[in-house]
Amino acid sequence: MTDWVFSSEFDLEEFIWARLEPLFNLKPLARQYIIKGQICDILSTTPEQQLVVLEWAIDHSLSQLQIWLHWL
């Protein structure tokens, strides 16, 4: 197993975006997408066309994740 260390949220996002399909079988749609004034880190879809929101919680509170759940 590989231990990955990321110095910033941006580095983590870069890593995941570049490997979204092989790691999670998700099709990338957009990065830093703004919805109702909130920024979503990554939008993607499953092979069944279900929307997937990836949000890094390193510097964010749980309340931002609850906002996304409410909108979805």
Predicted confidence (pLDDT) per residue in 46-66, tens digit:
999 999 888 876 555 555 555
Provide the CB-side half-sphere exposure for 36 (13 A, CA). 6
pTM of the model: 0.70
Collect contacts of 58-61 with beta carbons under 8 A, ≥24 apart. 58/9, 58/12, 59/9
Lowest mean pLDDT among 20-29, 31-40, 53-62: 53-62
Between the CA atoms of 9, 13, 16 and 17, what dihedral angle is there, to the nearest 10 degrees? 180
Per residue in 1-13, pLDDT (tens digit) is: 567 777 888 888 8
